[in-house]
Amino acid sequence: MNLKTSPLSVYLPFNRDCLRGAFVPAKLATKPPSPSGHWLIVQEQGLIVVPEADRLRLPVGELPEGFDGHLGSPIWLGNFQGTPCWVAALARDAAVPAGFHRETLIPMQGTRLPDDLLSLGGMALQALHWESTSAHCPRCGEPTERIEGEWGKRCPRCRYEHYPHLHPAVITLVRDGSRVLLTRKAGWAPGRYSLVAGFVDNGECLEGAVHREVKEEVGVEVTDIRYVGSQNWPFPSQLMIGFVAAYAGGDVVIDRDELEDARWFPVDALPSGPSRQSIARFILDHHARP
Ligand SMILES: [Zn+2]
């Protein structure tokens, strides 16, 4: 199936499909001999970019000057626009050299990064997260070895193998005719509401997780659960699986441990949040109306 034309693809940032074929992951490309090309330099949850008059771009070429001695080992992510893409972590306390700028990768913090750089930056975050959490065997504690040609790690002592962990979470828009049920967590920007969301538990199917999360967070029953798209979310490693569901009864009872508020909104008066880069916004924009 050609993903570029697949009606199932949701072209949101952080989904690799958003790059429309311009990115070839390491597994499908040939490893370059030395670190040169596009640089995805990450400091905490920000991406180092070169500001130009009308855009932000990645550093390209040999390792940019000024970063020597402050970067972790470069990791080859794959090729972008035919050029190798290298990921490296910049030490938390290192100054950003002149001519460069650190831009947040977090949509809720108002990132100015375009969607392609968000998507590459998200994969860079995930690669660094994986490296930082997979250096030792989770079963016996022995230092692990990289499995050739894979992201996976193998333990030389007990032979345990593991691969990057993505955590499935369901995110659901509850609809009832011309109104939708939205929730708000404490600490969010004023007026920001979003959809019911939560992680899938052991033993649960996705529909079961939707039923449970909606019931737990807002107290209502839902039916007619329908999948509408997904988004890889690299903070640090969720797979957000989007659904719409029809309200089937019950009063709104808010889980005060999780939420500050939950309420029905008419579809012609939806709140402005969540951010445009999120699947929550995508679902509201495309699926709020019955
Ligand atoms: Zn082990």
CA of 30 to the centre of ligand 1 (A): 30
CA of 1 to the centre of ligand 1 (A): 38
pLDDT at residue 34, as a whole number: 84
Give per-residue pLDDT as tens, 14-44: 999 999 899 999 888 888 888 899 999 999 9
Per the omega criterion (within 30 degrees of 0), is the bond before 25 cis? no
pLDDT at residue 9, as a whole number: 66
CA of 134 to the centre of ligand 1 (A): 11
Check residues 3 and 89 and name the one with the higher pLDDT. Answer: 89
Contact (Cβ atoms closer than 8 angstroms) between residue 227 and residue 209: no
CA of 127 to the centre of ligand 1 (A): 21
Could you give the CA distance from residue 100 to residue 30 in angstroms, rounded to a whole number? Answer: 29
CA of 133 to the centre of ligand 1 (A): 14
Could you give the CA distance from residue 210 to residue 225 in angstroms, rounded to a whole number? Answer: 8
Helices (H) then strands (E): counts for the chain: 3, 17
CA of 234 to the centre of ligand 1 (A): 27
**In three state form, how does the secondary structure of 119-163 look?**
HHHHHHHHHHHHHHHCCECCCCCCECEECCCCCCEECCCCCCEEC
CA of 237 to the centre of ligand 1 (A): 23
Amino acid residing at 67 = F
Task: Please give the helix or strand (H or E) that residue 210 lies within, else none.
Answer: helix 206-218
Give per-residue pLDDT as tens, 69-83: 899 999 999 999 999
CA of 71 to the centre of ligand 1 (A): 29
Strand partners, 80: 23, 83
Check residues 28 and 198 and name the one with the higher pLDDT. Answer: 198
CA of 159 to the centre of ligand 1 (A): 6
Could you give the CA distance from residue 227 to residue 270 in angstroms, rounded to a whole number? Answer: 21
* Rounded mean pLDDT, 123-151: 95
Give per-residue pLDDT as tens, 248-273: 999 999 999 999 999 999 999 998 87
Predicted TM-score of the model (pTM): 0.92
CA of 144 to the centre of ligand 1 (A): 8
CA of 129 to the centre of ligand 1 (A): 20
CA of 238 to the centre of ligand 1 (A): 25
Q: How many CA atoms lie within 13 A of 10 on its CB side?
A: 24
CA of 236 to the centre of ligand 1 (A): 24
pLDDT tops 90 at residue 286: yes
Question: Quick one: pLDDT band at residue 7, thresholds 50, 70, 90?
Answer: low
CA of 158 to the centre of ligand 1 (A): 4
CA of 136 to the centre of ligand 1 (A): 8
pLDDT tops 90 at residue 65: no
pLDDT at residue 4, as a whole number: 43
> 145, 171, 167: which is closest to 243 by C-alpha?
171
Question: Quick one: pLDDT band at residue 8, thresholds 50, 70, 90?
Answer: low
| 17: its two tokens | 């499909």
Could you give the CA distance from residue 171 to residue 189 in angstroms, rounded to a whole number? Answer: 20
CA of 199 to the centre of ligand 1 (A): 27
Phi, psi of 194 (to 5 degrees): -145, -165
Question: Quick one: pLDDT band at residue 149, thresholds 50, 70, 90?
Answer: confident
Give per-residue pLDDT as tens, 87-118: 999 999 999 999 999 999 999 899 999 999 99
Could you say which DSSP state residue 111 is in?
-
> 44, 175, 52: which is closest to 112 by C-alpha?
52
* Rounded mean pLDDT, 185-200: 93
CA of 232 to the centre of ligand 1 (A): 29
Q: Which residues does 202 contact at the CB level (< 8 Å), separation at least 6?
A: none
Q: In percent, how much of the chain has pLDDT > 70?
A: 97
pLDDT at residue 5, as a whole number: 42
Average per-residue pLDDT for the chain = 93
Amino acid residing at 44 = E
Specify burial of residue 267 (Cβ count, 10 A radius: 0-12, 13-18, 19+).
middle
Could you give the CA distance from residue 243 to residue 226 in angstroms, rounded to a whole number? Answer: 5
CA of 154 to the centre of ligand 1 (A): 8
> 242, 238, 190: which is closest to 213 by C-alpha?
242
